[in-house]
Structure 1
Amino acid sequence: EKCLTDELGIEAALAMHTARSRNDQIVTDMRLWMRARVLTLAQGSLELLRALTTVAHLHLDSVMAGYTHHQHATISTFGHHLAAYAEAIRRVVQRLHFWYETFNYSPLGCVTGFSTTFPIDRFLTAELLGFYGPEPNSIDPIASRWEPEADLAQILAILLGHLSSMAQTLILFSTQEFHVLTLHPRFCSGSSIMPQKVNPDALEVMKAKAAEVTSRLQALLTLGRANLTGYNREQQWTKYLIMETCLESLPAVSIMARIVAHSCRPLQVNPALQRLVGIDTARLAAMASTGFAGATELLEQLVARTGIEFRRLKRVVEHAVALSLQAGEPDCVTPAALAAAMQVEGLEVTVEAATVRRLQEPATILATKQVHGGPGQQALRTELAQLETFTHVQQQAWDTRRLTLQAAWERCCQGR
């Protein structure tokens, strides 16, 4: 006000603060700022969704072992894993939708939190700022100046949690021990001393950002508790926390989208780099044929074919695994071991040797895994189609929000 009056001679500036308080203006500013970040985050998440579903289509039959406890579990595909990541990002987009629908209401006109005697039109100012309408209670947005921030920080913490899990998986796959993934060099760095190093720095930093976001979320939640209803000065720190959280973490989703698009396709020579980049599907398949990854499916098929109780046949296959290892076979149950285990259990069941081997083959297993949500090709195609439809619908919804905000801004400009 002083600047406008003294330096520009605008006497009307002295009326600027009529029916306004720092309280409602800052809360309104933060709603506007967070809304813009949510729009950016939603677009980045949709880009990641598109990258995941696009690349997943290329890996419908890229056989790999699923892991539990960092050990071989059962047969899956790399496309199935990418679809799992896509489902997690889908939920993030849904949370962003709910955040927008919950908090796109204007606090302007709440003043200190207890309204004003001036006959202001809060519906008009809400419309001009692109809000759905004014907040219905003047105390609530002032006293709750931490909830929209904490809600957004929670979404970011969940998002970064998923991205950090993706990052750790890709880091592990890029090690010499796994040797499954060759990252594009733009996402890596060298060493100050070791000439051979290609360090997955972008992925490692993503894990650090996840820890950072979680700590700020905890601070936001703590700031919001046990306050006298109304404005309290400690609420000012919610602004710093959410701004730092957004600025530090927002780039991660777009970076991961580029990593998926450039480094997670089947292994091929990158023309610009003249080197191999991507997922070595042959190596993945070879790894899936080790460590008794087909033992569970062998058990399931034996139950289905014989009608014998699951628990009894599980004991049989467990014994057969042990006998196979004793015989020097570290990868799959041998017909001889299965026959011996059946005899120990007192079961007169004969399974042809070729059938025992075939039931443990990844191709056979995937052909029978057609349950909804599974790695079978048809089931996975259905899931990816649903994800693509979701992405399309959400893109239209977020585009509509941007157009609405642009129209509101243009109306404001007309009044200048």
Structure 2
Amino acid sequence: MAQLWGGRFTKKTDQMVYDFNASIGFDRRLYRQDIEGSMAHVKMLAKQKILTEEERDRILQGLSGILADVEDGSLPITKEYEDIHSFVEANLIDRIGDAGKKLHTGRSRNDQVALDMKLYVREEVQKTEELLTDLLKVILHIMEENLDTIMPGFTHLQKAQPITLAHHMGAYYEMFRRDRSRLADIYERMNVCPLGSGALAGTTYPLDRDYTAELLGFSGATLNSMDSVSDRDYVIEYLSALSTIMMHLSRFSEEIIIWNSNEYQFVEIDDAYSTGSSIMPQKKNPDIAELVRGKTGRVYGALMSMLTTMKGIPLAYNKDMQEDKEMAFDAMDTVNACLPLFTGMLGTMKFQISVMERSAKRGFTNATDAADYLVNHGVPFRDAHGIVGRLVLTCIEKECALDDLTLDEYQAISPVFEEDIYEAISMKTCVEKRLTKGAPGKGAMLEAIAIYKKELGCE
């Protein structure tokens, strides 16, 4: 048992207690952050004359060697150590002797683990942001390619009004755009350095916390040492953002699953992102979309676990907070695996343009435009609504679209209709005359696309 404590204890820790208490099984992934934080701490200690330059150099050399050996596999992180901090410090002392025992001067495991986790989450936030950017670029490309692709828009899963595929994709662009913005907010808010806060009350050593923060790329040092060691808001915020990302991916996946069905046939998923059946040779299943949808609950669980862990913890650090890692790591891994897979699936998916337009026509999505036609010819809207409802009933009986009715059939229900009704309710007209900001008309879509391209730096 390699521990960083024990002087006041007269009995050896029970093995079951040690195993239950140890975190090396999951915090081993923080090895690089722990070593980088230690390097910055040592440089600051030497700057403040707490360590000599010779001690600094020996410690830095030892830490660099440990990092290199861990990364090339020659130094395994084993369970004989209680946590990643004891692994690094014990190996450092083995390599450089007593100078290694000075590494921990002016800090506690409490501020050390707070720093490690913050450095790790900060990197993960950046990684997720990059993956979201890749997805946004694919969505934007689909939008630019499908400004004239007519499809039905839905409410209640019922065909409602005609839109374009570009407009539909734009709705998901907005969702992931907000997700990207949330990550930027989280990064800015969390980017303060807790190192130097000690166990909870700072330290008597003359540390330069701002210098340590600068070395580690933080915007500054935290202002309250108690909060510094007990703050996990940034983990909760990141898990909340990841949960929202997964919710958006799940909604998108649900639509792709529906669109891929035999009944819709709006899309064909590329073979590389589909699987077959062990018994039914005709099957081509949307497994990636289904798994993304299924894994959403897993990420939600991590968020709820973290909120529940933190809800009853008094100031400052408590061992409960060790539970901030396992499920959080799993959630980060899950999202950062789902995003590139989903992006690849979407980018290779084939859209069945003619099927989409035919579905829009057969779904009476131009019924509202037929009512607007009557209103523009002096018919009160409530009366126009009833007239078009009767037209729809006629179409249902005849199994045809509004576009297929003869002018005589229109005029039999209302003499107000003229030959220009067909132009007024054409799918192209229905879409293109909707030019208000955020609408599916080409002008409005081009305006939105220009904003998106500027934000992504791909003008």
Match of 2:272 in 1: 186
Alpha carbons of structure 1 residues 177 and 324: separation in structure 2 relative to 1, 3 Å: closer
Matched-pair contact (CA < 8 Å) for 1:157–1:214: yes
Selected match of 1:294 from 363, 366, 378:
366
Instruction: Map residues 44-59 of structure 1 onto 2, 5 A cutoff.
Output: 44-59=131-146
Task: Give 3-state SS (helix, strand or coil) of 1:289's partner.
Answer: helix
Task: Give 3-state SS (helix, strand or coil) of 2:325's partner.
Answer: helix
Selected match of 2:261 from 175, 180, 201:
175
Task: Give 3-state SS (helix, strand or coil) of 2:151's partner.
Answer: strand
Q: TM-score, normalised by structure 1?
A: 0.84
Match of 1:371 in 2: 436
In 2, the alpha carbon distance for the partners of 1:379 and 1:11 equals: 69
Task: Give 3-state SS (helix, strand or coil) of 2:315's partner.
Answer: coil
Task: Give 3-state SS (helix, strand or coil) of 2:161's partner.
Answer: strand
Matched-pair contact (CA < 8 Å) for 1:302–1:313: yes
Aligned residues: 369
Counterpart amino acid of 1:222?
T
Give per-residue Cα distances to partners, 1:186-238, cap 9 Å, x unaligned.
11112222222221111111101212111211111122213212112111111
Alpha carbons of structure 1 residues 12 and 61: separation in structure 2 relative to 1, 3 Å: same
Matched-pair contact (CA < 8 Å) for 1:65–1:75: yes
Give per-residue Cα distances to partners, 1:244-266, cap 9 Å, x unaligned.
11012212122222222221xxx
Q: Does 1:331 align with 2:401?
A: yes
Aligned-residue Cα RMSD (Å) equals: 1.9
Counterpart amino acid of 1:290?
R
Give how far 1:26 is off: 0.7
In 2, the alpha carbon distance for the partners of 1:309 and 1:111 equals: 74
Selected match of 2:209 from 122, 130, 155:
122
Match of 1:227 in 2: 313
**Higher-RCO chain (CA-CA 8 Å, sequence separation at least 6):** 1
Match of 2:322 in 1: 236
Q: Which runs of 5+ in 1 are unaligned?
A: 264-277, 343-348, 396-416
Counterpart amino acid of 1:331?
A
Give per-residue Cα distances to partners, 1:98-151, cap 9 Å, x unaligned.
011000111111111221111111011111111111111111132222x11110
Match of 2:55 in 1: none
Q: TM-score, normalised by structure 2?
A: 0.77
Selected match of 1:211 from 297, 319, 323:
297
Give how far 1:338 is off: 4.8
Q: Does 1:247 align with 2:333?
A: yes
Match of 1:350 in 2: 416
Give per-residue Cα distances to partners, 1:267-286, cap 9 Å, x unaligned.
xxxxxxxxxxx111011111
Counterpart amino acid of 1:321?
V
Instruction: Map residues 315-326 of structure 1 onto 2, 5 A cutoff.
Output: 315-326=386-397
Selected match of 2:190 from 92, 98, 103:
103
Task: Give 3-state SS (helix, strand or coil) of 1:196's partner.
Answer: coil
Matched-pair contact (CA < 8 Å) for 1:317–1:338: no
Q: Which stretch has the larger CA shift, 280-289 or 192-201?
A: 192-201
Instruction: Map residues 143-162 of structure 1 onto 2, 5 A cutoff.
Output: 143-145=230-232, 147-162=233-248
In 2, the alpha carbon distance for the partners of 1:2 and 1:64 equals: 64
Match of 1:24 in 2: 111
Selected match of 1:165 from 236, 251, 255:
251
Task: Give 3-state SS (helix, strand or coil) of 2:221's partner.
Answer: coil
Q: Which runs of 5+ in 2 are unaligned?
A: 1-88
Give how far 1:323 is off: 3.8
Counterpart amino acid of 2:119?
L
Matched-pair contact (CA < 8 Å) for 1:324–1:337: no
Selected match of 2:176 from 89, 94, 107:
89
Task: Give 3-state SS (helix, strand or coil) of 2:304's partner.
Answer: helix
Instruction: Map residues 393-408 of structure 1 onto 2, 5 A cutoff.
Output: none
In 2, the alpha carbon distance for the partners of 1:392 and 1:213 equals: 30
Give how far 1:301 is off: 3.0
Match of 2:92 in 1: 4
Matched-pair contact (CA < 8 Å) for 2:193–2:220: yes
Matched-pair contact (CA < 8 Å) for 2:179–2:241: yes
Matched-pair contact (CA < 8 Å) for 1:291–1:332: no
Matched-pair contact (CA < 8 Å) for 2:377–2:416: no
Give how far 1:2 is off: 3.9
Name the % identity: 29
Counterpart amino acid of 2:302?
R
In 2, the alpha carbon distance for the partners of 1:43 and 1:167 equals: 20
Matched-pair contact (CA < 8 Å) for 1:320–1:340: no
Matched-pair contact (CA < 8 Å) for 1:319–1:341: yes
Q: Does 1:391 align with 2:456?
A: yes
Alpha carbons of structure 1 residues 315 and 113: separation in structure 2 relative to 1, 3 Å: farther
In 2, the alpha carbon distance for the partners of 1:152 and 1:9 equals: 39
Matched-pair contact (CA < 8 Å) for 2:139–2:173: yes
Instruction: Map residues 56-95 of structure 1 onto 2, 5 A cutoff.
Output: 56-95=143-182
In 2, the alpha carbon distance for the partners of 1:24 and 1:216 equals: 23
In 2, the alpha carbon distance for the partners of 1:3 and 1:208 equals: 42
Counterpart amino acid of 2:92?
L
Task: Give 3-state SS (helix, strand or coil) of 2:457's partner.
Answer: helix
